[in-house]
Structure 1
Amino acid sequence: MVLNTYDSDKRRLLSSLCHGAIFFSPLVLSAGIPFAILTVSDDPVVKESAKESLNYHFNIWFYGLIAGIISFFWWTIILLPLIWLVAAFLLFMTWIVPIVAIASCWSNPDESYRYPFIFRLL
């Protein structure tokens, strides 16, 4: 019986790198980091983290598109509270949630973090 053991430190580092890639989001290549890790790594937890990170990237881009469309109509007084609500949601999702994901990778490297409020395409 062959027992597959994976290096816990390597798992932490690669999973954290996947989730931290969103901080390079202004560079559209930020999704390339989890994609590269997904294709290179053989660790199932790291692969799951990379998939989750890619799904997160797609969702943030989609929410940003919605925010951009809504903010195009900034002159409409009725939409002003909605613009601030979407902006606050995007700020929360772009900064706080990935920090929680990275902390989760370091505290529990044997489980992949699942982002809340996202649609999973992969």
Structure 2
Amino acid sequence: MYDSDKRKLLSVLSHGAIFFSATVLSVGLPIAILFLSEDPVVKGNARESLNFHLNLYLYAILFGLLTFVLIGFPLLLILGVASWILPIIAIVKVLSNPTLIYRYPFLFRLV
């Protein structure tokens, strides 16, 4: 019904967009995939990637504010590590099971 290779590619691009740094492309790629794809699995992965981006920005602002009371530095370090490890896990999971909508742990799902 849906092309498995295309599904894998678009899902990996959605989750891997975080590695484009804080550029507009980082958030724009999952948004574009969400609106252009008709595959429900790809849309789910793009939506989850957007939620991950939004949560990272929210946590970064919160933890940045907490640096004034010196508790934010370790939290920012943990956030930095999580921003690399969690998308890698998502990419591996999506590649191994193309029908999977990977759900990141500890997220507020806003989208």
TM-score normalised according to structure 2 size: 0.93
Give the match for residue 26 of structure 1: 22
Runs of 4 or more above 6 Å deviation: none
Unaligned runs of 5+ in 2: none
C-alpha distance after superposition, 1:20-74 (max 9, x if no partner): 0011132133110000000000000000000000011100000111122122x1x
Report the alpha carbon displacement of residue 91 of structure 1 after superposing the two structures with TM: 1.6
Bigger Cα Rg: 1
1:7-86 matches, within 5 Å, as 7-71=3-67, 73=68, 79-80=69-70, 82-86=71-75
Q: Equivalent residue of 1:90, what SS?
A: helix
Quick one: percent identity of the two aligned structures? 54
Root-mean-square deviation over aligned CA pairs: 1.2
TM-score normalised according to structure 1 size: 0.85
C-alpha distance after superposition, 1:77-114 (max 9, x if no partner): xx43x223312321222100000000011001101100
Number of residue pairs the alignment of both structures matches: 111
Unaligned runs of 5+ in 1: 74-78
Matched, 1:104 2:100: no
Matched, 1:87 2:82: no
One-letter identity of the residue aligned with 1:100: I
